[in-house]
């Protein structure tokens, strides 16, 4: 049932290939290449399965001998034996050719003929049979189940009731359950006559317990608290013999609750003067009047909710003695292969370090998972510790993520567009307040310095002062680069149609205006919008789909933390959903702004590039026109790994 199974070295040579059900040999290379490019090279190695068109691919890495094992099968099938098959094949292949790998290295891979077919067919047969041998389990009859043996009494839950069961009463209506749910009897249908009978007397005595539980629950879940308060009412109505419930604040009349003093409602008399103690109000007596002190730097230990996972290293430190010492010595001298247990404490620490550096939490987790997969089973060199190996691998992974997957050269593309006599259109999108208009002005300054004329399209028709802001920038830029020094043509012009109009329409008109007037670049400024705001996201998607800009830049601030993931995912999703084309225009690049406000907490760069796998095109480091930089991957990673 498998489509193919390949074994190849990490250097690219295919060692052995099995063609399964159908397909020529070439059918295996394209999906495997896609697997390598999207999973292994983008550090998404956490999960071991990948879908490509109609195939599902599962893979396993052998880090000791640098091999990759990939199996492909149809997506619609769910084969349960695949994982076991890969593990068995891995072990078998490695043991069979272990000597060759160890002795001859690359030449062994090149010259060796790996005749693995018989072993593979045997393992495949074994795996298929093992999945078939489990006979279908016959369903238990009702008499056999535990439920028929329960009595009504033990079904009543009093203490330790879970809040979730409040949702269940809706199901009770249809079922003929013999048990009752005391937790939310308010919705119990009239059909269950047993309720007032046996259960009630027990309710009466357990009134206080219920009330206490309800108050506790009310404190924890505010929403569900409303349901708790609703239920006592129908209870009280059912049996008149019940004691009315006494709440702390209920049943008292309004007079007791009125804490305002008599002088209210328009009276201008001041209330009783409180004792004003200047000491407590002013605080420090010895301060100089009028001076504003600096913020004192305290090392803050942020309580992070992510630290739920108990540290597994606690158990590993218990085992020690002679075995531990031997292991350490062996580790120092080399030829020790890394196991998951060795790496886990180090990876935990690295993950926390990354999160402290403002990398989004889920991305830090995925990164560490991927690094663990890459290092598992690898043989460490002499005198290298686990920490240094893991750190090295993580550093390489981070540099890899920050390397752009496509060319980042705006000027080159503008030259191309110039040659084709059409303007190069750049659109800026992002949430509110990240610096779109500011960085748009910086980029237009940079383009003017390089001799390109720019048309700014003011498609932010919503925010007050957006058009005026761009007009001020235009005036300033024209003052810095007057037409006289550029052969008599104005380098910057603003195209605006005021407020309240449709942004997509303005953009389209601006582009045709630029084409007629011969502008080289059109920079389209859009309004900031939250990623959850569906109508605004639709409007943005429409603007991009209709005008087909050459470059869609997402502007994100470097201060953002976990929000970056949400913003980018939702923006991309909106652009993909509302596009009519086969290949929708997604975000092409990222502008990282406010980089000067973070010292070395540069994690936002990693989060953004990891999510979109698109490069960071510009970095904004201030509010003047010269504060525009390009990303230096090594410097960012160095700042990230610095302790």
Partner 1 sequence: GMAGALEPHMETLRRELRAPDPAVLSVLLALIAVAITILLWRFVQGRRSGRRAVLLLGLCDAGKTLLFARLLTGKYRDTQTSITDSSAVYRVSSDKSTNVTLIDLPGHESLRLQFLERFKAAARAIVFVVDSVAFQREVKDVAEFLYQVLVDSTVLKNAPALLIACNKQDVTMAKSAKLIQQQLEKELNTLRVTRSAAPTSLDAMGGPAQLGKKGKDFDFSQLPMKVEFVECSARGSKGEEGDADFEGLEKWLAKVA
DSSP state letters, 27-91? HHHHHHHHHIIIIITTT-TTSSEEEETTEEEEEEEETTTTEEEEEEEETT---TTHHHHHHHHHH
Interatomic CA distance for residues 548 and 425, integer angstroms = 8
Q: Which of residues 200-219 bind partner 1 (CB under 8 A)?
A: none
- Rounded to a whole number of angstroms, the minimum distance from the CB of residue 478 to partner 1 is 21
Burial class of residue 128, CB neighbours in 10 A (0-12, 13-18, 19+):
middle
Q: Which tokens in the block code for residue 232?
A: 């006592």
Q: Residue from 20, 44, 66, 224 that binds partner 1 (CB under 8 A)?
A: 66
- Contact between 48 and partner 1 per CB under 8 A: no
Q: Residue from 21, 236, 411, 530 that binds partner 1 (CB under 8 A)?
A: 411
Least Cα distance to 431 among 311, 569, 336, 582 occurs for 569
Least Cα distance to 595 among 536, 567, 555 occurs for 555
Q: Which tokens in the block code for residue 607?
A: 């989060």
- Contact between 632 and partner 1 per CB under 8 A: yes
Q: Which tokens in the block code for residue 480?
A: 């810095």
Residue 623 makes CB contacts below 8 A (sequence gap 6+) with 438
Residue 85 makes CB contacts below 8 A (sequence gap 6+) with 71, 123, 124, 127
Specify the residue, 109 or 537, whose C-beta has the smaller distance to partner 1: 109
Asked if 519 and 454 count as a contact pair (C-beta separation under 8 A), the reply is: yes
- Rounded to a whole number of angstroms, the minimum distance from the CB of residue 121 to partner 1 is 20
Specify the residue, 8 or 519, whose C-beta has the smaller distance to partner 1: 8
Q: Which of residues 420-459 bind partner 1 (CB under 8 A)?
A: 446, 449-450
- Rounded to a whole number of angstroms, the minimum distance from the CB of residue 105 to partner 1 is 8
- The 3-state DSSP class for residue 642 equals coil
- Contact between 36 and partner 1 per CB under 8 A: yes
Asked if 625 and 610 count as a contact pair (C-beta separation under 8 A), the reply is: no
Specify the residue, 111 or 286, whose C-beta has the smaller distance to partner 1: 111
Q: Residue from 384, 400, 418, 478 that binds partner 1 (CB under 8 A)?
A: 400
Sign of CA dihedral 424, 429, 434, 435: positive
Q: How many residues bind partner 1 (CB under 8 A)?
A: 53
Residue 71 makes CB contacts below 8 A (sequence gap 6+) with 2, 4, 5, 57, 58, 59, 82, 85, 86
- The 3-state DSSP class for residue 489 equals coil
- Contact between 379 and partner 1 per CB under 8 A: no
- Rounded to a whole number of angstroms, the minimum distance from the CB of residue 32 to partner 1 is 6
616-620 vs 589-593, strand pairing mode:
parallel
Q: Residue from 367, 431, 631, 640 that binds partner 1 (CB under 8 A)?
A: 631
- Contact between 642 and partner 1 per CB under 8 A: no
Q: Which of residues 70-129 bind partner 1 (CB under 8 A)?
A: 105-107, 109-111
Least Cα distance to 604 among 442, 386, 475, 430 occurs for 430
- Contact between 396 and partner 1 per CB under 8 A: yes
- Rounded to a whole number of angstroms, the minimum distance from the CB of residue 424 to partner 1 is 13
- Contact between 33 and partner 1 per CB under 8 A: yes
- Contact between 521 and partner 1 per CB under 8 A: no
- The 3-state DSSP class for residue 139 equals coil
- Rounded to a whole number of angstroms, the minimum distance from the CB of residue 48 to partner 1 is 16
- Contact between 523 and partner 1 per CB under 8 A: no
Asked if 581 and 542 count as a contact pair (C-beta separation under 8 A), the reply is: no
Specify the residue, 573 or 629, whose C-beta has the smaller distance to partner 1: 629
Q: Candidates 30-38, 73-81, 427-435, 539-547: pick the segment binding partner 1 (CB under 8 A).
A: 30-38
- Contact between 621 and partner 1 per CB under 8 A: yes
- Contact between 406 and partner 1 per CB under 8 A: yes
- Contact between 486 and partner 1 per CB under 8 A: no
Query: How many degrees, rounded to 5, is the angle at CA 31 between CA 29 and CA 36?
Result: 90
- Contact between 630 and partner 1 per CB under 8 A: yes
Interatomic CA distance for residues 248 and 25, integer angstroms = 78
- Rounded to a whole number of angstroms, the minimum distance from the CB of residue 633 to partner 1 is 8
424-429 vs 521-526, strand pairing mode:
parallel
- Contact between 24 and partner 1 per CB under 8 A: no
Q: Residue from 595, 603, 604, 614 that binds partner 1 (CB under 8 A)?
A: 595
Could you identify the residue written with the tokens 């005036």?
A: 475
- Rounded to a whole number of angstroms, the minimum distance from the CB of residue 163 to partner 1 is 48
- Contact between 244 and partner 1 per CB under 8 A: no
- Rounded to a whole number of angstroms, the minimum distance from the CB of residue 457 to partner 1 is 22
- Contact between 37 and partner 1 per CB under 8 A: yes
- The 3-state DSSP class for residue 414 equals helix
Q: Which residues bind partner 1 (CB under 8 A)?
A: 6, 8-14, 17, 25, 29, 32-33, 36-37, 40-42, 66, 68, 105-107, 109-111, 396, 399-401, 403-407, 409, 411-412, 415, 446, 449-450, 595, 618-619, 621, 628-632, 635-636
């Amino acid at each position: 049932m498998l489509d193919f199974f390949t074994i190849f070295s990490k250097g690219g040579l295919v060692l052995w290939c099995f063609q399964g059900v159908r397909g020529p040999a070439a059918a295996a290379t394209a999906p495997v290449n896609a697997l390598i490019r999207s999973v292994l090279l983008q550090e998404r190695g956490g999960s071991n399965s990948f879908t490509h068109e109609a195939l599902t691919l599962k893979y396993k890495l052998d880090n000791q001998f640098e091999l990759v094992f990939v199996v492909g099968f149809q997506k619609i099938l769910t084969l349960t034996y695949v994982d076991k098959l890969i593990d068995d094949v891995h072990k078998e292949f490695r043991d069979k050719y272990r000597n060759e790998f160890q002795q001859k290295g690359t030449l062994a891979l090149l010259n060796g003929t790996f005749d693995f077919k018989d072993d593979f067919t045997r393992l495949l047969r074994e795996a298929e049979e093992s999945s078939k041998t489990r006979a279908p389990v016959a369903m238990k009859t009702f008499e056999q189940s535990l439920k028929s043996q329960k009595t009504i009494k033990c079904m009543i839950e009093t203490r330790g009731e879970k809040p979730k069961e409040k949702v269940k009463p809706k199901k009770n209506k249809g079922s003929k359950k013999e048990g009752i749910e005391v937790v939310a009897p308010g919705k119990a249908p009239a059909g269950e006559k047993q309720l007032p009978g046996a259960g009630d007397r027990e309710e009466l005595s357990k009134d206080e317990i219920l009330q206490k539980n309800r108050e506790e629950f009310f404190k924890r879940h505010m929403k569900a608290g409303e349901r708790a308060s609703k239920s006592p009412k129908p209870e009280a109505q059912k049996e008149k013999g019940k004691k009315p419930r006494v709440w702390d604040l209920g049943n008292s009349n309004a007079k007791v609750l009125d804490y305002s003093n008599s002088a209210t409602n328009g009276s201008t008399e001041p209330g009783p003067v409180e004792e004003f103690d200047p000491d407590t109000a002013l605080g420090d007596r010895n301060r100089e009047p009028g001076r504003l002190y600096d913020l004192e730097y305290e090392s803050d230990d942020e309580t992070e909710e992510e630290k739920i996972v108990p540290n597994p290293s606690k158990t590993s430190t218990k085992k020690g003695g002679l075995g531990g010492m031997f292991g350490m010595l062996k580790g120092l001298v080399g030829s020790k292969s890394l196991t998951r247990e060795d790496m886990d404490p180090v990876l935990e620490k690295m993950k926390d370090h990354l999160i402290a550096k403002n990398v989004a939490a889920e991305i830090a987790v995925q990164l560490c998972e991927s690094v663990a997969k890459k290092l598992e089973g690898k043989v460490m060199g002499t005198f290298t510790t686990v920490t240094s190996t893991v750190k090295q691998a993580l550093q390489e992974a981070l540099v890899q993520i920050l390397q752009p997957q496509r060319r980042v050269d705006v000027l080159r593309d503008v030259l191309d567009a110039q040659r084709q006599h059409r303007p190069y259109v750049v659109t800026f999108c992002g949430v509110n307040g990240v610096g779109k208009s500011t960085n748009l002005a910086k980029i237009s300054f940079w383009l003017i310095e390089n001799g390109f004329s720019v048309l700014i399209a003011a498609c932010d028709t919503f925010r007050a002062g957006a058009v005026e802001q761009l007009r001020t920038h235009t005036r300033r830029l024209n003052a810095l680069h007057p037409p006289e020094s550029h052969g008599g043509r104005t380098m910057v012009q603003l195209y605006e149609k005021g407020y309240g109009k449709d942004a997509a329409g303005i953009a389209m008109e601006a582009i045709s205006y630029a084409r007629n007037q011969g502008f080289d670049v059109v920079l389209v400024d859009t309004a900031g919008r939250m990623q959850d705001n569906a109508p605004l996201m639709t409007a943005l998607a429409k603007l991009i789909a209709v005008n087909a800009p050459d470059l869609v830049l997402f502007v994100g601030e470097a201060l953002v933390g976990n929000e970056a993931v949400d913003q980018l995912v939702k923006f991309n999703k909106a652009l993909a959903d509302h596009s009519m084309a086969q290949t929708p225009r997604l975000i092409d690049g990222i502008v990282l702004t406010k980089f000067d406000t973070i010292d070395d907490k540069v994690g936002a760069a990693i989060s953004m590039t990891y999510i979109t796998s698109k490069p960071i095109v510009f970095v904004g480091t201030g509010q003047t026109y010269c504060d525009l930089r390009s990303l230096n991957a090594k410097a960012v990673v160095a700042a990230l790994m610095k302790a």
